[in-house]
Amino acid sequence: MTSGAVGAKAAVEERIRRHERTLLEFSHRIHANPELGFEEYRASEWVADELRSGGFEVQHGCYGLPTAVRATIGSGPVHVGICAEYDALPEIGHACGHNIIAAAAVGAALGLAPLADDLGLTVTLLGTPAEEGGGGKILMLERGAFDGLHAAMMVHPAAAEMAAMPGTAVSQFEVAYKGKPAHAGAYPELGVNAADAMLIAQVAIGQLRQQTRGTDRIQGIVTDAGTAVNVIPDSASGRWIVRSDTAEALATLTTRVKACFEAGALATGCAMSITPSGPDYADLRPDAALLAHYRANAETLGRSFPDLPDGMVGAATDMGNVSHVVPTIHPMLGLDCHPAVNHQPEFADACIGPAADRAVTEGAIAMAWTAVDFAEQHLANPH
């Protein structure tokens, strides 16, 4: 690392720490006002406002998505994208800590802004809606938001620190059965039971799990299975997610799971339909060089990375799709909140605690420092 990079990192850190109170208030405000995917009107406006005030050229409501944001500053040859998420979960709010993600992204972008041209950087913050199943980044990727980027990065809170989350590939779909109603006591033989079809499918999936790989996951909820006990249910439906460690393994597993639903239809005589409920998420493939920069920078800030258990299966992220196109990292910031984990109410509480505030500041600094390192390396070795 050159003396110029050392000086740039010091200036970036000083600027982020100078904005720390604003960044933490920003994180807390998003946390206190949770909005579901594609409905993040306040959060996306707040992101746009912060960056507009910081001198960025801002587009709000872009790529056909009302809550997407694109904010750019600098004109250097090395183009780095920083992703902000801000959608919440139903009922449990920011139990995945997207308020921290948004605040850290804004902090990193603001920290780099005045130095971008001197560092040879163009910095773009992408506000990406609906990570929780809606695949906002996938839609934005398809519509050109990531075109021209040399690197993309974001940080995400978790129960433990991880430089590289083992992100899975995901297929998500809805299943619906259509049967025939009848009086359940007087004329059951005239009915075709859609609830039974769903039950048979669930039993088949339970048996299938004995023959799946350790990195495979099958999850679902039944959303409809009749409304009156004395009527044979003529409809049943559910939402399902299938996960595996690679796209190839996911395709195989999804075929087997769908066969279980076909079995339910065959056994009961119901009609069945399967329709996608969201885009497929690709497995996450972190860039090794970018990851090495981030890890060294995070460790300089005093963050440590415990060894991960063998065969650990992580969550899915639409950043996985980005990682197949652009060099990408998606490190996890540990919140020291045991026994709480993501998607629990207790984790939502942890996402505005002292460890969460530290994660905002240090996540912003680590990303900004990583952008400095990446620009220096890329300019020295552009190929």
Residues 307 and 370 occupy one common structural domain? yes
Q: Which of 257, 276, 295 is the last residue of a domain?
A: 276
Q: pTM here? A: 0.94
Task: Give me the residue label for tokens 């600027």.
Answer: 15
Domain containing residue 201: CATH number: 3.30.70.360
Neighbours of 380 (CB within 10 A): 8
Please tell me the total count of domains within the chain.
2
DSSP states of 289-305: HHHHHHHHHHHHTT---
**182: domain range?**
169-276
pLDDT of residue 18: 97
pLDDT value at position 380?
A: 86
90: domain CATH number?
3.40.630.10
Based on the number of CB atoms within 10 Å of its own CB, is 44 exposed (0-12), middle (13-18) or buried (19 or more)?
buried
CA 22 to chain centroid, in Å, comes to 24
In whole angstroms, how large is the CA radius of gyration of the chain?
23
Looking at the structure, tell me whether residues 106 and 247 fall in a common domain: no
Q: Are 364 and 154 in contact (CB under 8 A)?
A: no
Query: Residue for token digits 């799990």?
Result: 209
Query: What DSSP string runs through 121-182?
Result: EEEEEEE---TTTT-HHHHHHHTTTTTT-SEEE--EEESS-BSS--PPEEEEEEEEEE-B--
What pLDDT score was predicted for residue 2? 78
Residues 6+ apart with CB under 8 A from 123: 72, 73, 74, 80, 82, 109, 112, 113, 116, 371
pLDDT tens per residue, range 92-116 = 999 999 999 999 999 999 999 999 9
If you average pLDDT over every residue of the chain, what do you get? 97
| Predicted local confidence at residue 309, as pLDDT | 67
Are 23 and 154 in a shared domain?
A: yes
Last residue of a domain, one of 255, 276, 297: 276
Residues 71 and 153 in one domain: yes
183 residue type, one letter: H
The single-letter code of the amino acid at 340 is A
* Whether 93 and 236 share a structural domain: no
pLDDT at 311: 61
**Domain finish residue from 276, 299, 331:** 276
How confident is the model at residue 310, as a pLDDT? Answer: 63
pLDDT on residue 37 = 98
| pLDDT for position 381 | 85
For residue 242, give Cα distances in angstroms to 86, 218, 266.
24, 5, 22
47 and 148 share one domain = yes
User: 93-124 as b/e, with b when 16 or more CB fall inside 10 Å?
Assistant: bbbbbbbbbbbbbbbbbbbbbebbeebebbbb
Indicate whether 37 and 95 sit together in one domain.
yes
Which positions of the chain have pLDDT values less than 70?
A: 1, 3, 309-313, 383
Residues 305, 264 share a domain? no
> Do 260 and 329 fall into the same domain?
no
Give yes or no for a contact between 219 and 204, defined as CB atoms under 8 angstroms apart.
Answer: no
Kindly report, residue by residue over 234-263, the tens digit of the pLDDT: 999 999 999 999 999 999 999 999 999 999
For residue 320, the model assigns a pLDDT of 97
CA-to-CA distance for 267 and 160, rounded, in angstroms?
45
Cα 235 to Cα 273: distance, rounded to the nearest angstrom = 11
101 close to 155: Cβ distance less than 8 angstroms: yes
The answer on 301 and 358 residing in a single domain is: yes
- State whether 198 and 334 are in the same domain: no
- Give pLDDT, residue 168: 94
Question: Both 8 and 105 in a single domain?
Answer: yes
